[in-house]
Amino acid sequence: MLLKTIQVATPSAQYPVLIGPGILPTLYPRLRKLSKAKLVVITSPNIWTLWSKEFLASFPPQDQPAILTLPPGEKHKRLPAIESLAEQLAQQGADRDTLLIAFGGGVLGDITGFLAAIYMRGIPFVQVPTTLLAQVDSSVGGKTGVNLAAGKNLLGSFHQPRAVFADTDLLRTLPRPELFAGLQESIKAAIIRDPRFFTFLERNREKIQAASGEPDPATLARIVATSVQIKADVVAADEHEQNLRMILNFGHTIGHAIEAATNYKQLLHGEAIAWGMIAALHVALARQTITPDQFARMANLILAFAPLPTFKAKAQQLVALTAADKKNRSGRRAFILPTAIGKAEVVHTITDEELLTATQRMLDDMQSSKP
């Protein structure tokens, strides 16, 4: 199978995203093409246990990278983790030329990217994403950061990687819920931007679900490549999320609130976004920017990757939690509203009442979808 390269071109940087199988055992020459300096890998213990042999396969004995590890999980995505890693970098003699390599899922990539953004006011890094979520979404686009108690990703930087190496072989060891959660970001990309991709996902869902065994590798590689292409186009047009880029946050207004309400523990990010998309679709249906038929197709695709875990929360609590949304400006809510399958707009006129009604309908859907 051939590797696919997608170029991301933003005002601040241009870099390739390499997608396909068999990339991991060829990393060393690719990294050394980017940098002759010190290499430091940041990874999680479980990823390293599974994949260190393949990761290191191409490194010569005399030029092994330094390895730093970070425990997995959203609860470590905080400033103390950044401080601890930075002290370790300094002890290792890392300087402004040092290349960091984020080898892990979305949380690890966000942390490593932010560390690279602020260590000595900015050093280069590359992403080697190991989850579907990270491959289709979070490793591309340069959003980095950590959480506050007050909310997700409230501290961070825009810092583009020098390259992204998305080896789809890594998805083989990915637990099924993580695979399905990652798919939700691909569904999001299709809904906001690409009707053909939406139809592709509808038609190929069985190949991905494949109840027994692995999802079809070619289908998965195509999903990653198309999702990355959509993201690359949006990010190229609006690197710092002044406007268009906000559409990538479709489903994230209520999605982030769900994560906060469940203490970032109960649901995977993609699962929370799935419910958030259902809520946003209800807003659009009530506003008649989409038809009941369009609503049904989009909601069905989101709910197809079952079982989507449920949670307990009141609609009012969730809406209250959206007050701290980063997209809000001077108190005005920014909301991503689908206007067709493959099209979405940023609107600033969504009222608390509309959001409350839509969120309640999503919670009702959740109740009725329970086995």
Which positions are annotated as active-site residues?
121, 143, 185, 231, 241, 245, 249, 252, 256, 269
Q: Taking the complex as a whole, how short is the minimal distance between the CB of residue 325 and a copy of itself, in angstroms?
A: 8
Amino acid present at 14: Q
Distance separating alpha carbons of residues 193 and 186, to the nearest angstrom: 11
Q: Taking the complex as a whole, how short is the minimal distance between the CB of residue 38 and a copy of itself, in angstroms?
A: 7
Q: How far is CA 270 from the centre of its chain?
A: 8
Supply the Cα-derived Rg of the chain in whole angstroms: 20
For residue 285, what are the contacts with CB-CB under 8 A and spacing of at least 6?
292, 295
Tell me the DSSP string of 317-365.
Answer: HHHHHGGG-TT-BTTBPPEEEEEETTEEEEES---HHHHHHHHHHHHHH
Q: How far is CA 199 from the centre of its chain?
A: 22
Contact call for residues 303 and 187 (beta carbons, < 8 A): no
Q: Output 117 or 308, the one with its CB closest to a copy of itself.
A: 117
Q: Output 91 or 288, the one with its CB closest to a copy of itself.
A: 91
Closest CA relative to residue 214, chosen from 179, 251, 256 = 179
Q: Taking the complex as a whole, how short is the minimal distance between the CB of residue 246 and a copy of itself, in angstroms?
A: 11
Give the phi and the psi of residue 217 in degrees, each rounded to 5: -60, -40
In the complex, the residues that contact a copy of itself under the rule CB under 8 A are 36-38, 78-80, 82-83, 86-87, 90-91, 93, 95-97, 117-122, 143, 145, 148-151, 154-158, 240-241, 323-324, 326, 328-331
Q: Is residue 105 helix, strand or coil?
A: coil
Q: Output 78 or 205, the one with its CB closest to a copy of itself.
A: 78
Q: Output 263 or 288, the one with its CB closest to a copy of itself.
A: 263
Q: Output 91 or 263, the one with its CB closest to a copy of itself.
A: 91
Q: Output 121 or 203, the one with its CB closest to a copy of itself.
A: 121
Distance separating alpha carbons of residues 336 and 189, to the nearest angstrom: 12
Q: Taking the complex as a whole, how short is the minimal distance between the CB of residue 42 and a copy of itself, in angstroms?
A: 16
Amino acid present at 362: M
Q: Taking the complex as a whole, how short is the minimal distance between the CB of residue 28 and a copy of itself, in angstroms?
A: 18
Q: Taking the complex as a whole, how short is the minimal distance between the CB of residue 92 and a copy of itself, in angstroms?
A: 10
Q: In what order do the strands lie in the sheet with 164-167?
A: 4-9, 14-20, 164-167, 125-129, 99-104, 39-43, 66-69
